[in-house]
């Protein structure tokens, strides 16, 4: 099949925000892990419904939606010390390559932009399947995990602990559960 033929089979699927989760975890004071999420995620996946290697992903996450179940911490994370939501209101991700793995596993390689800084990131992912729902809409689900160093994105705020170490660790684990839907069936 030619590249042109493959391109014509691709359809735009939308991220179903009410059935998707973008979560993160970071070590706090070297003894506990703080978890949070971004409850609003929007974006599209260009996808033919079967061959992930031809898919492209474009995601936007509003920073103001950050939720760690602590209003004071959320306000600090939105400030210029961390995400600087006033000047950089969204995190974005654009895929560059999807590499098939074993079975339903694959790797997503793309550009993550946080606070105006773009770095390539790799996510270990798996397909959770696809189906037609009771209302006639095609749906597909994916899980992905990864890790990033927040310092790479300009999120440098920290404080040294009296006993050594830092208040907030540099490494951030990310976890995604994404459901996409193909409108217009």
CATH code of residue 108: 2.40.128.110
Count other Cβ atoms within 10 Å, centred on residue 183. 10
- For residue 127, CA distances in Å to 9, 26, 32, 94 come to 19, 26, 31, 18
What distance in Å separates the CA atoms of residue 170 and residue 145, rounded to the nearest whole number?
Answer: 17
Query: Into how many domains does the chain fold?
Result: 1
**Model pLDDT for residues 94-111, shown as the tens digit of each residue:** 999 999 999 999 999 999
What residue numbers bound the domain in which 59 lies? 3-182
Q: What pLDDT shows up at residue 1?
A: 34
**Model pLDDT for residues 19-77, shown as the tens digit of each residue:** 999 999 987 655 678 899 999 999 999 988 677 888 999 999 999 999 999 999 899 89
């Amino acid at each position: 099949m030619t590249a042109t033929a493959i391109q014509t089979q691709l359809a735009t699927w939308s991220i179903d925000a009410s059935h998707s989760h973008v979560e993160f975890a970071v070590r706090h004071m070297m003894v506990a892990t703080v978890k949070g999420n971004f409850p609003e995620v929007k974006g599209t996946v260009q996808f033919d419904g079967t061959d992930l290697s031809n898919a492209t992903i474009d995601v936007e996450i509003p920073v103001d939606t950050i939720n760690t179940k602590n209003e004071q911490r959320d306000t600090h994370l939105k400030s210029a010390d961390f995400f600087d939501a006033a000047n950089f209101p969204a995190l974005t991700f654009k895929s560059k390559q999807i590499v098939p793995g074993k079975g339903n596993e694959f790797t997503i390689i793309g550009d993550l932009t946080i606070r105006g800084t773009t770095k390539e990131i790799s996510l270990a992912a798996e397909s959770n399947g696809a189906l037609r729902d009771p209302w006639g809409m095609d749906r597909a689900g994916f899980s992905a995990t990864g890790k990033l160093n927040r310092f790479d994105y300009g999120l440098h705020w920290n404080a040294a602990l009296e006993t050594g170490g830092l208040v907030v660790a540099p490494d951030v684990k990310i976890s995604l559960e994404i459901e996409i839907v193909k409108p217009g069936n």
